[in-house]
């Protein structure tokens, strides 16, 4: 890949993710401190908030303005169905207000704001514009506006994930983690979650020692981290970023495993069996969202495994950004058969062999792959 290719696209992506993280931080603070509801359930019972819809509208509008409107293809999680219902007027009004507040601050991040506030119809259009299904050809932005909405509404970990896929290959990824502090020792706060939250006045990035944004371009051999910085500091980008690398730990007894929090779409018992069989001894780190990929890329954990329950299909927006960041930081991500994940089949990771394994290095990866083959026939999947 040419060194300068995608430079503008990546810089824009980092900036719009910063805007989105700022938006999320404000919404989450209101959600937790004022107990403002505006959390509704989609048809699959998963939650959606003002932040999910507002981030999607904001990023959609910014990308379309910068890269040319109808030429921009965006694959994203949300649609307008949930806010088009008769009883959703309050939610829709909150989304419109949040989007306009966020876009008004875009110049602080080196981005252009609208000449006038967006009307309701324009916000709905921005959300609806994210209707691409991806595929093997063309350029597609892949967005998860709030990955880990359950974590978001609980004041826990979540992520804003944006990747660019061209001709079926992920060319770069950006991962905003507003509650993942730059100081690693804060990562385990969720083990003492209630006690920790009671000692903090809010979940703004400052209260957590700031969040962070990670990004990487495929083939560069480099993954970067920068603090979640205020708009007036964006002029320092990218000088405020630092290189990150995966952990050098290759002894399973010393390795830390990341697991999904949600039991609905993952099989914790099979994962626990694998962990025991390869000799993992440390307490698993259970965190919401693609923060698990961030933890591996930063060297805070060594392994992430996810084995979906029967019938669940992994979506590309849940993995694209995280996978490229881990790989460029020196890690490995494959399915349980050892094959690279395929982002060319549309909205889903079609053909996935049993599950997903992300590791900091080849030694741990090979042991886990072998353990999967040894354990699979006796599993309850």
Bridge pairing between strands 74-76 and 139-147: parallel
Please state, in angstroms and as integers, the Cα–Cα distance from residue 350 to each residue in 74, 336, 340, 342, 347, following that order: 19, 14, 12, 7, 9
318 is in an annotated binding site: yes
Catalytic residues: 52, 149
Bridge pairing between strands 169-177 and 159-166: antiparallel
Cβ–Cβ under 8 Å, residues 333 and 356: yes
Reduced 3-state DSSP string for the chain: CCCCCCHHHHHHHHHHHHHHHHHHHHHHHHHHHCCCCCEEECCCCCEEEHHHHHHHHHHHHHHHHHHCHHHCCEEECCCCHHHCCHHHHHHHHHHHHHHHHHHHCHHHHCCCCCCCCCCHHHHHHHHHCCECCCCCCCEEEEEEEEECHHHHHCCCCCEEEEEEEECCEEEEEEEEECCCCCCHHHHHHHHHHHHHHHCCCCCCCCCCCCCEEEEEECCCCCEEEEECCCHHHHHHCCCCCEEECCCCCCCHHHCCEEECCCCCCCCHHHHHHHHHHHCCCCCCEECCCCHHHHHHHHCCCCEEEECCCCCCCCEHHHCHHHHHHHHHCCCEEEECCCCCCCCCCCCECCCCCCCEEEECCHHHHHHHHHHHHHHHHHCCC
Cβ–Cβ under 8 Å, residues 34 and 129: no
2 is in an annotated binding site: no
147 is in an annotated binding site: yes
342 is in an annotated binding site: no
Binding site, annotated residues for Mg(2+):
77, 144, 147, 318
Binding residues: 77, 144, 147, 318
């Amino acid at each position: 890949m040419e060194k300068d290719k995608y430079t503008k696209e990546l810089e824009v992506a980092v900036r719009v993710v910063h805007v989105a993280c700022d938006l999320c931080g404000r919404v989450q603070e209101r959600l937790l401190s004022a107990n403002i509801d505006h959390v509704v359930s989609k048809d699959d019972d998963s939650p959606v908030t003002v932040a999910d819809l507002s981030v999607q509208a904001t990023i959609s509008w910014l990308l379309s303005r910068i890269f040319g409107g109808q030429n921009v293809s965006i694959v994203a999680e949300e649609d307008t169905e949930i806010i088009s219902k008769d009883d959703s007027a309050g939610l829709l009004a909150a989304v419109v207000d949040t989007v306009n507040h966020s876009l008004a601050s875009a110049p602080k991040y080196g981005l252009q704001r609208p000449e006038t506030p967006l009307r309701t119809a324009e916000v709905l259009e921005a959300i609806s514009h994210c209707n691409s299904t991806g595929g093997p050809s063309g350029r597609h932005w892949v967005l998860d506006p709030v990955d880990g909405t359950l974590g978001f509404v609980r004041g826990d970990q979540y992520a804003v994930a944006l990747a660019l896929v061209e001709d079926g290959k992920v060319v770069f990824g950006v991962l905003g983690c507003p509650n993942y502090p730059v100081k690693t020792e804060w990562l385990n706060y969720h083990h003492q979650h209630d006690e920790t939250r009671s000692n903090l006045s809010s979940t703004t990035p400052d209260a957590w020692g700031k969040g962070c944004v990670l990004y990487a371009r495929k083939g560069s051999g480099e993954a970067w981290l920068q603090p979640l910085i205020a708009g007036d500091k964006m002029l320092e980008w990218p000088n405020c970023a630092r290189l990150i690398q995966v952990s050098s730990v290759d002894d399973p007894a010393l390795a830390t495993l990341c697991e999904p929090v949600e039991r609905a779409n993952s099989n914790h018992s099979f994962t626990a069996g694998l962990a025991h069989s390869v000799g993992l001894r440390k307490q698993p780190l259970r965190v919401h969202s693609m923060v698990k990929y961030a933890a591996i890329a930063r060297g805070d954990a060594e392994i992430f495994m996810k084995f979906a329950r029967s019938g669940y299909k992994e979506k590309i927006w849940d993995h694209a950004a995280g996978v490229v960041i881990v790989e460029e930081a020196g890690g490995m991500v494959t399915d349980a058969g050892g094959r690279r994940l395929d982002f060319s089949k549309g909205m889903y990771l079609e053909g996935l062999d049993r599950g997903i394994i992300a590791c900091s290095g080849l030694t741990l990866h090979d042991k886990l792959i072998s353990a999967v083959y040894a354990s699979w026939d006796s599993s309850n999947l």
